[in-house]
Amino acid sequence: MPELPEVETVRAGLSRFLPRKQVQDVWHDWPKGFPNALADVQQFVVGAHITEVRRRAKVLLIDLDSAYTLVIHLKMTGQLVYQAEHERFGAGHPSDSLVGKLPDKSTRVIFTFADSSRLFFNDQRKFGWVRLMPTTEVENLDFFRKVGPEPLAADFTPRQFAERLMRRRGSGIKAVLLDQTVIAGVGNIYADESLWGAKIHPLTLVQDIPPRKLTALYTSLRAVLELSIQKGGSTDRNYVNAEGKRGSYLTFANVFRRQGQPCSRCGTTIIKIRAAGRGTHLCPHCQKQ
DNA sequence: CACTTGACCTGTCCGC
DNA sequence: TGCGGACAGGTCAAGT
């Protein structure tokens, strides 16, 4: 569920809090979710200072001044929540935030900093992970070598978008949008929303989409991602930002989880089908195959 | 080789 | 009310 806008929202929040913090302690259960040897964590994380928080695709990168980086993927139900020391105890926490309620039963990793503030990695379904590696090796990870361009990058053009989509000419457009090696950061929510915006049926084969509709999809995808970042991302169940608060984009969604409701453009009832193995939402009138 | 399906997990919801 | 099964969806590995 955390897709580009959600991960970007977490990144923005963490970069307000984390730079210059010194790590004092790292606790974790669930070795599969943080597979590094304890000795390496002790040597390269404990005592180190955080220098920067970055994002690439749906992956968060927390750089340390030990020349190591914590690489974090939230997958579907991961959360990264920062809690300042004074927020730990007692009442007074906003009821719409997880802050003050952590750790809880889905807490997998806790970073404690020298000023007693803490960073919690929560993950109900344990699909997410944290791993430590030298900063210079991050770009050599298989995932980063193959991942496509950032759709919101200033130099990402409609032409580039169309060319990359056409590499997968035999496939349905939804499957292609979800393919991280084509375009980075798009998941189920924004695939559905951007296709509705461009009036394209999710199962349409890429080579059957006219150029003008590809341009519309480029525009629609960028608009949807930008609006979602502005709204703090989408919260269906689990997602929260670095302050433990939910995002409000789904209030503005046109099709995602809106099956049975009228299309905001034409009034036709939104339906849910299966495409690329995922629940897929569309307006059968606006998005003809 | 390109595409699809299953595995990884847990919690929730639905029908019987 | 209890219980089994479907479902949620990001990514990799395995299968077709």
Residue with tokens 């299966």: A274
Beta carbon of A176 within 7 Å of strand B? Answer: no
Statement: the pTM of the whole predicted model exceeds 0.85: yes
pLDDT at A135: 96
Closest among A229, A223, A238, A231 to A7, alpha carbons compared = A229
Look up residue A77 and give its amino acid. T
Average pLDDT by stretches of 10, chain A with 289 residues: 92 96 93 90 97 95 97 93 78 74 90 96 92 93 90 95 90 92 93 95 92 95 95 89 92 92 94 89 92
Active-site residues of A, by number, are: 2-3, 58, 278
A181 CA vs C11 C1’ separation (Å) = 11
Q: What is the pLDDT of residue A229?
A: 95
* pLDDT at residue A91 in the model: 56
Distance CA A209, CA A161 (A): 13
Round and report the angstrom distance from CA (A277) to C1' (B8). Answer: 16
Q: Is the CB of A78 under 7 A from strand B?
A: no
Nearest nt to the CA of A7 via C1' is C10
A245 touches strand B (CB under 7 A): no
Please give the pLDDT value at position A163. Answer: 92
Separation of A169 CA and B3 C1' (Å): 12
Beta strands in chain A (DSSP E): 23-28, 50-56, 59-64, 68-73, 78-83, 107-113, 118-123, 129-134, 271-275, 278-282
CB-strand contact A73/C, under 7 Å: yes
Query: Strand C positions with any atom < 7 Å from protein CB?
Result: 7-12
Protein residue nearest nucleotide C7, by CA to C1':
A279
The predicted structure's pLDDT at residue A86: 73
The answer to whether A45 touches A64, Cβ cutoff 8 Å, is: yes
Helix locations, A149-280, DSSP H: 158-166, 173-178, 188-198, 211-230
